Amino acid sequence: MSAGVAVVIGIVGAVVGSFLNVCIWRIPREESVVFPASHCPACSRPIRFQDNIPMISYLILGGRCRDCGERISLRYPLIEALTAGMAVLLFWKYGLTLKLAAAFLFTAALIVITFIDMDYQIIPDVISLPGIPLCFLAAVFVMEVPFLDALAGILVGGGILYVIAVGYEWIAKREGMGGGDIKLLAMLGAFFGWKSLLFIVLCSSLAGAVIGITLMVIKGQDMKYAVPFGPFLALGAVLYFFFGEPFLNFLFLTA
């Protein structure tokens, strides 16, 4: 992997991460992600170009708005760094190819979904619904997933969580999983194919159980404490990029 190209990829990833911060803030509020230009949410002053350099401007400004002095959340540069890191990791896996572009855009959507779900416990339809056909097309024509595998991924992905959600609601007499999670897993299945769902559901369920129980203990909550599942599905999908195929090869070769 060329170090120079990796640095450029990382910079592009950080810039995209800055835009993802805008999406995470505005999409739940049903605001345009394009207009108006980036501005401080506290004083509404437009952010100057030199104050909008990913990660660097945060450090220079000491984490505060230049105009009103309001503290800027540390999450902004962390999301920029996360997006940059994922861009480099995906470049390491796919090289400078169309697969890199498709995988990175897919991952960017997952980052937005993750943080919106953490904040509001919703997965916006504006991302997941168009994401299903777009991921299907990207899978078939870019990622080289067989047509029927990607199609089955949509049906199986949406079907698995739908059955779990209905079963849980029937047993517990309350909703345990929203429709957004169902659409998200259908989107993941469309992008990776149906076999990937074995890995994604296993990883997300294990991570969700461990972190969910830990949070319940820390916060002193009972089993009714709501933990958004979308971030864990997104985590399982990202892990699939790097560990999914070896897992499936082992699973099906030893079955």
Q: What confidence tens digit (pLDDT) does each residue in 71-111 have? A: 999 999 999 999 999 999 999 999 999 999 999 999 999 99
Lowest mean pLDDT among 37-41, 203-207, 228-232: 37-41
Residue 143: pLDDT over 90: yes
Residue 221: pLDDT over 80: no
pLDDT more than 90, % of the chain: 70
Beta bridge partners of 46: 39
Note the pLDDT of residue 178: 65
Which whole number is the average pLDDT over 248-252?
79
Beta bridge partners of 71: 64
Residue 68: pLDDT over 60: yes
Residue 225: pLDDT over 60: no
Note the pLDDT of residue 177: 59
Which whole number is the average pLDDT over 51-62?
94
pLDDT more than 70, % of the chain: 92
Note the pLDDT of residue 251: 75
Exposed, middle or buried: residue 34 (CB in 10 Å: 0-12, 13-18, 19+)?
exposed
Note the pLDDT of residue 174: 62
Task: Give the DSSP letter of residue 113.
Answer: H
Note the pLDDT of residue 173: 63
Note the pLDDT of residue 147: 97
> In 3D, which of 24, 23, 65 has the Cα closest to residue 42?
65
Residue 193 CA to residue 203 CA, distance in Å, equals 16
- Mean per-residue pLDDT over the chain, rounded: 90
Residue 176: pLDDT over 60: no
pTM of the model: 0.91
* pLDDT-derived band at 2, boundaries 50, 70, 90: confident
Note the pLDDT of residue 110: 98
* pLDDT-derived band at 216, boundaries 50, 70, 90: confident
Residue 217: pLDDT over 60: yes
Note the pLDDT of residue 214: 84
Note the pLDDT of residue 170: 72
Note the pLDDT of residue 198: 92
